[in-house]
Amino acid sequence: MGFNTVWLEAVVDPQEGKGTRHKIVTFETAARNGEPFEEVIKKYGIPFSHFPTCTRELKENTMKSYLRSIGWNKGDYVSAIGIRVDEVDRVSERAKDFDFFYPLVKWKISKGDVKSFWAKQLFDLDLPEHLGNCITCWKKSDRKLFTIAKETPEAFDFMDRMEREYPHNGAGEGPRRFFRKYRSTQDILALAQKPFRPFVPGAFQLEMFDPELDTQSACGETCEIGADA
């Protein structure tokens, strides 16, 4: 589509006091097995709802490193954030301070508009709703996580390994766990074996809404820079 997208990957310096840098990658050279995320976990520990170092290090600091490398500093650019008008409650109250701009909010673009746009394209990502964004992110509702655990339990392999290998890394007391209510990956996999109504992509979910199963993170399921800041 002619976006001239620059694909960045985090380069984590294990030395304390040294910030995350970046490298430019391509489809052929990008990490495929979570290597940058593992380096973040080695240094800062397992992220969770009140300690989202994955967003900070893999996105925010990586992008800032790239911008500095091309001579752009704070105040030289505006960050466009992909939050829709139906997510307006996630717009930062300090947007002007951070030079954030929310074009989809300004243009009143909703989730339906986005789906309609993609439906007209010549290709389909064929990505079910519950598998969008980081597949096993703790921000997702339990219903989505349990559904993923039933359909593709191997999707949790990386998180399970991180909890086993780096439970005490980072500041504070461990062991750390990824999921809300201080649940481990094994807890999620075990809970998914109990009876529940799975998430159905595209279905009207209100009739089956359950506060325990369908409540997601307070800041939604996505991790845009400038969301909820």
The pLDDT tens digits of the residues spanning 166-195 come to: 999 998 888 999 999 999 999 999 999 999
Residue 10 burial class via C-beta count within 10 angstroms: exposed 0-12, middle 13-18, buried 19 and up: buried
pLDDT (0 to 100) of residue 215: 76
Q: Which helix (H) or strand (E) holds 112?
A: helix 111-119
30-43 burial code (b ≥16 CB/10 A, e <16): eeeeeebbbbbbeb
Could you identify the residue written with the tokens 């655990």? 149
Residues 6 or more apart in contact with residue 221 via CB below 8 angstroms: 132, 133, 137, 139, 140, 141
The whole-angstrom distance between residue 15's C-alpha and the CA centroid of its chain comes to 25
Asked whether residue 207 carries a pLDDT value surpassing 80, the answer given is: no
Confidence grade of residue 223 (pLDDT, cut at 50, 70, 90): low
Report the distance separating Cα 24 and Cα 10, nearest Å: 9
Tens digits of residue pLDDT in 47-66? 998 889 999 999 999 999 99
What residues pair up with 79 in beta bridges, in sequence order?
Answer: 100
Reported pTM? 0.87
Between 68-72, 158-162, 193-197, 206-210, the lowest mean confidence (pLDDT) is in 206-210
Reported as a pLDDT band with limits 50, 70 and 90, residue 162 is very high
Out of 86-90, 131-135, 165-169, 208-212, the most confident range is 165-169
**87-128 per-position pLDDT tens digit:** 999 999 999 999 999 999 999 999 899 989 989 999 888 888
Closest of 131, 206, 112, 186 to residue 197, by C-alpha: 206
For all residues of the chain together, what is the average pLDDT? 90
User: b or e along 119-131 (b: 16 or more beta carbons within 10 Å of the residue's beta carbon)?
Assistant: eeeeeeeeeebbb
- Contact (Cβ atoms closer than 8 angstroms) between residue 159 and residue 187: no
CB neighbour class for 212 (10 Å; exposed up to 12, middle 13-18, buried from 19): exposed
- Quote the crossing angle between the two packed helices 35-44 and 157-165, to the nearest 10°: 30
Q: Is the pLDDT of residue 165 over 70?
A: yes
Closest CA to 148 of 192, 181, 185: 192
10, 27 Cβ separation under 8 angstroms:
no
In angstroms, the CA 131 to CA 227 distance is 20
pLDDT at 129: 87
| Tokens read off for 142 | 């339990």
